[in-house]
Amino acid sequence: MSNWVKKLFIERADLFLKLMNQRWTKTEELTNGIIKVLNNCGITSGNLLDLCCGNGRISVHIAKKGFRAVGVDISKTFLEDAKKKASEHGVTNMVAFLEGDVRRLKEVVGRLSQPFDVVVNAWTSIGFYSEKDDRSTFKQARELSREGAILFITETMHSEYLALKFTPTSYTEIDDIMLLENREYDQITSQMSTCWKFYKRCGNDLVFIDKAEILHHIYSLSELSLLLKKAGWDMMTCYGSLSTLQAMNPLTSLNIVAKAC
């Protein structure tokens, strides 16, 4: 595991959890879109695999629509929160959250017997490791899925966007925490390095809490389509948003729908 993954998602999971919780509010719309696409493909129920599930927002919302979900994540803190949220939403019996590394996906979920009908990878949860690792993860997901299963890569940053709109600095406030992000993007390698600094607001002052130096690869649509093809998934279409099913353009996020071939 790279150092920044360990720092941001394990050691300082308490801080990242605040950002994750913000995303819960928009997740019902997202899962409604996922369900619409699945229904159009003739899938109305079944088993969903949530790769890098975080605190379970996709798994929990999809379980509320009648799908069984298995979420895999390396962060114990996120998974504990996911289990708590599943209980609050009354879907404990529809979800399983497994701690493990998606690069060893088959080992982690191997003991479950049912093949998956749907696989989801949400919120730029790719490009953290090597291209070979990402390909292997999707290949393992394919091997655990039935023919005709549907894969969603959703709410994902892509290099077409960065070519048009690169924002070197931004900040986000959540409760009394402020996150300041300073980014550098190398167009040649498509590597994004971001320094995340967390501060706590104390009156008019900001008190530094911690920082993480993040480095990850940002894929283009064609790179991802090729990677998926090599992993056994045929790209069917892509959207700018799964909530609205609007078409993708360079300034929207990337939402791929692919089919197990």
3-class DSSP assignment, residue 234:
strand
Q: How far is CA 98 from CA 3, 110, 121, in A?
A: 22, 11, 15
Residue nearest to ligand SAM (CB): 54
CA angle at 59 for the pair 53 and 65, rounded to the nearest 5°: 165
Give contact residues for ligand SAM (rule: CB under 6 A). 5, 9, 20, 23, 52-54, 57, 72-75, 78, 101-103, 122-125, 128
Minimum Å gap between C-beta 202 and ligand SAM is 28
- Smallest distance, ligand SAM to C-beta of residue 91, A: 16
How does DSSP classify residue 7?
I
Of 123 and 138, CB closest to ligand SAM: 123
> On the CB side of 132, how many CA atoms lie within 13 Å of its CA?
0
CB of 42 vs ligand SAM, minimal distance in Å: 26
Six token digits for residue 40: 């159009």
Q: Which is nearer to ligand SAM, 74 or 238 (CB)?
A: 74
- The first and second tokens of residue 201, run together, are 């607001």
For the bound state, the minimum distance from the C-beta of residue 222 to ligand SAM, rounded and expressed in Å, comes to 23
Q: In what order do the strands lie in the sheet with 191-202?
A: 169-174, 177-186, 191-202, 205-217
Q: Which amino acid is at 219?
A: Y
In the complex, minimum distance from the CB of residue 176 to ligand SAM, in angstroms, rounded to a whole number: 22
Cβ neighbours of residue 64 under 8 Å, at least 6 residues apart? Answer: 31, 89, 90, 91
CB of 67 to ligand SAM, least distance (A): 16
Does residue 54 contact residue 82 with C-beta atoms inside 8 Å?
yes
Q: Enumerate residues 6+ apart whose C-beta is below 8 A from 87.
A: none
Bridge-based pairing state of the strands 47-51 and 68-73:
parallel
By C-beta, is 80 or 101 nearer to ligand SAM?
101
Q: Which is nearer to ligand SAM, 125 or 145 (CB)?
A: 125
Q: Whose Cβ is closer to ligand SAM: residue 206's or residue 215's?
A: 215
Question: CB of 1: closest distance to ligand SAM in angstroms?
Answer: 6
HSE (CB half, 13 Å, CA atoms) of 70? 25
What whole-number distance in Å separates Cα of residue 32 and Cα of residue 76? 28
Task: Please identify, using beta-carbon distances, which residue of 143 and 147 lies nearer to ligand SAM.
Answer: 143
Instruction: Name which of 97 and 233 has its Cβ closer to ligand SAM.
Output: 97
